[in-house]
Structures are given as C-alpha cells and as structure tokens.
Amino acid sequence: FQAYNIPVLETAFLIFANLFIYVGLTQPIIRPEFPDPKGERYISSKLILQEKREILQKLRITMSKDKLFLDPELSIEKLSKVSGTSTRNISQVINEILAQNFYEFVNLYRINAAKEQLADPEDTAKTVLEILYAVGFNSKSVFNACFKKMTGLTPTQYRTQKLSELQVG
C-alpha cells in the first residue's frame, strides 16, 4: 500500500509544481513585454509618425503637469481617460517610440521624482521608504531594483553622493 502512494504523491506534486510555475510565468509582472523588432505588433495601426510624436508629447505633458505617476494605482486605462488617447495608441507609442512598456514609462517619472527628493538637502529628514511611497511605488524591492537599474546606484548611495557633492561645491 505504501509503495503505491509514493508515485501518486510524486505525480500530484509535479502537477502542482508545474501549474504553479505556469501561473507564475503568465503573470504580467514576471513576463515583461518583449520588443517587436519587426514592428508586426501594430501592423494594422493607421498612426503615422507625426501622430505618434504628438501623442507622445501629449502623454509627457499630461504626466508632468498632472503628476499622474504619483498615483500608485495608475494604469494605462487611467492615463487614457486623462489624456483622451486610446490605450492601444498609448501602448503603441510607448513601445515603438520609446522602446519601453507602460510601467517602464511611468517608473521613469517616479524615479526622477525620487532623485529630486533624495538630492534635496531640505528633504534629508525623509526616509527612502517615505520617498518611494510619495512618488507612487508600492514596493521597496521594486523601487530599489528600478532605481539601481536607472542610476547604477541604490537610493541611499545616490542620496549620499548628491548631498556630498552639494557640500563640496
């Protein structure tokens, strides 16, 4: 009886493990958007280059003026409503012109806002954790990974470097 249970349990475990891995890999946070080098993704799009540039300018103005990136729940749908641009066109412009996905686009604004606060001598009382939440991140690990990817430094290293540059200069 015991010898029969082992293969059944092993099989059940393998099925569960494979299902768990499959679900994990199909989540959008784990599976990044891959660039479309041939441009086939938007082949049916009627947008011309000038329209794409205008949409990008509109997105940049909307993000900067309204500071939408500060909203931790910002989605492409929310940006679409505020900018008056379809989600498909937003996605296409960000993907094709900037070679980024939506979250990389938003996180660039968030990281730049964090850099300003980290380098400001009047904001030294703020912790890195307070700053990451203030600029729209929900996760310290995601913030740290994005920050390091974009600057080559951790937030604390960046703050130390910038504040010491101000003291020397």
Task: Find the radius of gyration of the CA atoms of the chain.
Answer: 22
Determine the Cα angle at 31 with ends 24 and 11, to 5°.
30
- Per-block mean pLDDT, blocks of 10 residues, the chain (169 long): 64 82 62 53 85 96 94 96 95 94 96 97 95 96 96 96 86
- Hey, what are 52's tokens? 């794409």
Give per-residue pLDDT as tens, 94-119: 999 999 999 999 999 999 999 999 99
Q: What is the pLDDT of residue 22?
A: 72
pTM, 2 dp: 0.74
Q: What is the pLDDT of residue 31?
A: 41
d(CA 93, CA 55): 7
Residue with tokens 């960000």: 94
Element (H, E) at 76: helix 76-83
Q: What is the pLDDT of residue 36?
A: 53
Q: What is the pLDDT of residue 142?
A: 96
Element (H, E) at 129: helix 128-134
Q: What is the pLDDT of residue 41?
A: 75
Q: What is the pLDDT of residue 45?
A: 83
d(CA 153, CA 156): 8
For 86, residues 6+ apart whose C-beta sits below 8 A from its C-beta are 80
- Hey, what are 56's tokens? 């990008």
Across 26-127, the runs of DSSP E, i.e. the strands, are none
d(CA 17, CA 6): 16
